[in-house]
Chains A and B, each alone.
Chain A
Amino acid sequence: MRNRSFAVGAGLVCFVAVVACLAGLLAPFDPMRSNFRLRLAPPSAAHWFGTDHFGRDLFSRVLYGGRVSLEIGFFVVVVTGVAGTLIGALAGYFRALDNPLMRLMDALMAFPAILLAIVVSAVLGASVVNVVLALAVATTPHTARIVRGSVLVVREMEYVEAARALGAGDLRLLFGHVLVNALAPLIVRLSYVFAIAILAEAVLSYIGVGPPPPTPTFGNIIAGGRDFMNTAPWVMIFPGLAIVVSVLGLNLLGDGLRDVLDPRGVRT
C-alpha cells in the first residue's frame, strides 16, 4: 500500500506538472484570445471543455491555469519551507527565542488559516506574488512548529552533545546535524502545503482576493464562471476537477513520502 501510494501520487503529480509545463505546446488555443461570437459554448470536438464568457477555450485556460496554480503552490512551498525552517530552528535550538517565536506562531494559528490568508491578501492587494505571501503566512506557523519539534528532540541527543564537546559552534551544529533530522517531517509537511496552497488559492479567487484576471488560475476560472453556473456549468466543473486531480496527486505523494521517510513521526 505504501509504495503504491507514493507511486500513484508521484505519477499524478508528474503528469499534472508536465502537462502544465507543456501548456504552451498542448493548448490548442490562446487562452487569452476572446471570441465573442462563441461565448459559453458547451464542450464539443473543437473545444473539449467548452468556452467561457469571453469565448476563450476552456481547455487551454485550464492548462495554463494549471501552470500558474502550480507555480503559486511551488513558491508557497519555498517561502514556507525557508521561513518555517528558520523560525522553527531558531525557536527549537535557542531557548531564549523559543517562547517569543512560538507565542507569535500560536497567535497566528489561532486564526483559521483561510481567514488569515484572506486578510493578508486584502492588505497587500490582489496579485500572484501577494497571494503567495498570504498563503505562506497562513502555512508557515504550523511548519515552524513541526521543525521546532524535530529540533527539540535532536538537540538533546547524545551525538549532538558529543559534537559540542568536540568544539563545534552552535550554528554549525544546527545546520549540520540537527536540521538534517528535521528534514523528513518537513518534506512530508511541505507536500501537504503544496496541496493546501492549491486549494486555498481557489478559495481566495472565489472570495475575490485572488490573482486577478486575465491570468488564469484554477480558482479564478471557477470564480469568473460563477455568474453563469446555471447555464454553463462546464466553466466551473472542469477547473474544479483539475484541482481535485492535482491535489489528490499531492496528497498521495505526501502519504507515500510519509510512509517512506517518517512513519512514526510528528503527525498532525
Chain B
Amino acid sequence: MLRFLARRLLASVPVLALVSLLSFGVIWLVPGDPAAAFLDASATPAQLARIRHQLGLDQPFYLQMVSWYERILHGDLGQSILLNRGVAQALWERLPVTLSLAGLALVFAVLLGTTAGLLAAMRHGSWADQSITVLALLGLSVPDFWLGLVLIFAFAVGLGWFPAGGYVPMGQSFWGWWHSIALPAFALAVVQVGFIARMTRSAMLEVLHQDFIRTADAKGLPWSVVVARHGLPNALVPILTVTGIIAGGLLGGAVVIEQVFSLPGIGRLIIDAILSRDFPVIQGGLLFVAVVYLAVNLVVDVLYAVVDPRVRL
C-alpha cells in the first residue's frame, strides 16, 4: 500500500512542476497588467508607467520567475497587488465559502443522485425509470449559471425565500449561512445529480444482473436486503471513480456560480484576478486549485486501491 502511495506521489512531481510553470507563465502571455485597475478611465500612459514601476512590474521576466519560485518553495504565495493582503491569506479567507458551496453541492448531488439512480435501477423499465433518466439528462444539459439566474429570479426576487447573493459565514448564523448557500449549492448540484444518477443507475443495473445477486435472491432474502448488502457496495466502486471527476466539475462550476450569486469564494477570486490582472493572485490561485485537484484525485485513487485490491499492481 505504501509503495503504491509513494509511486503515485512520485508521479505527481513532474505534473506539479508543469502546473507551477503554467500557473506562473500565464502572466507572461496575458496582455495588460494591474496598473489599469488603480486608475480611472483617462489614465495617461505616464501615470500607468508610474504605477507599474511602484508595483515592480517592470522587472525582467526571468527575475520575477526566480523570485516567485523561491517564494513558492518557502510556502509563500506572495502579496496581492489589488487586495491589500497576502495571496495565501486571501485564499484562506475564501476557502470556507467554496468549501461550503462545493461541499453542500456534493451532498445534494450524492443524496439526490444515488437515490434517483437506485430507484431507476430497481424499477428498471418502468415509467419512473424513464422519467428519472430523462430528468438526469436534462440536468446535465442545463447551463449552471443560467439555472442560477433563473433560480434567483424565481426564488429570491420573485418569492423572496432566499437572498439573491452574498455569503453569511456559518459562525455568524447557521440559518443565515444555510439561506445564503442553499440556492447556489442546488444550482451547482443539478449537473452533478444527473451525472451521479446515471452512473448509479448503470452501475446498479450491472451489479443486479450478476450471478451472486440471483443467488442471494434465490436464498429467499428480501429484495431490499439484497440490494443493500450485496448490490450497493459493489456499485460504490464506479461511484468512487466518478467522485474524482465530480470534484473537478464542482470546482469548475463553483467558479461561475460564485459569480452569479456574488459569493466571495476562490473561484470568484481567481476570475476577478484574471480580469483585473492581479498577477500574484492569478498565479497563486491557479496553483492552489490545481494542487487541490491533484490531491483530491490522489485521495480517490488511494480509496479506490483500498476498496479494489486489483488496482494496486
Contact = CB atoms under 8 A, between A and B. Distances in A.
Interface stretch (B69-77, B138-146, B219-227, B304-312): B138-146
A108 B15 CA distance: 9
A242 B26 CA distance: 34
Interface in B1-54: 14-15, 18-19, 22, 26, 29-31
A252 B71 CA distance: 49
User: A interface, how many residues as a size bin?
Assistant: 35 or more
Q: In the complex, which of the residues B146, B252, B255, B256 has the most CB atoms of chain A within 10 Å of its own CB atom?
A: B146
Contacts of A230: 153, 157
B169 interface: no
Contacts of A109: 248
Contacts of B237: none
A268 B26 CA distance: 29
Interface string B272-294: 00110000001000100111011
Contact of B290 (A104, A111, A268): A111
Contact of A240 (B14, B18, B26, B146): B146
B207 interface: no
B103 to A, nearest CB: 16
Nearest to B146: A240
Given A111-B289, A115-B252, A226-B149, A251 B26 contact: no
A251 B145 CA distance: 19
B146 A202 contact: yes
A125 B138 CA distance: 32
A236 B260 CA distance: 13
Interface in A209-268: 222, 226, 229-230, 233, 236-237, 240, 243-244, 247-248, 251-252, 255, 268
B15 A243 contact: no
Interface stretch (A72-80, A116-124, A159-167): A116-124
Given A203-B143, A207-B256, A103 B271 contact: no
Contacts of A111: 19, 22, 286, 289-290, 293
Contacts of B133: 1
A222 B153 CA distance: 14
B195 to A, nearest CB: 11
Contacts of A125: 31
A119 B274 contact: yes
A45 interface: no
A199 interface: yes
A106 B255 contact: no
B270 interface: yes
A242 B38 CA distance: 40
B245 interface: yes
A115 B253 CA distance: 9
B111 interface: no
Interface of A: 1, 99, 103-104, 106-115, 118-119, 122-123, 125, 195, 199, 202-203, 206-208, 222, 226, 229-230, 233, 236-237, 240, 243-244, 247-248, 251-252, 255, 268
9 contacts: A110-B15, A112-B249, A122-B30, A203-B256, A229-B149, A233-B153, A243-B142, A243-B146, A244-B143
Given A119-B30, A243-B146, 15 more contacts: A107-B18, A111-B22, A111-B290, A112-B249, A114-B252, A114-B253, A118-B255, A119-B26, A119-B274, A203-B256, A206-B259, A207-B275, A240-B143, A247-B141, A255-B137
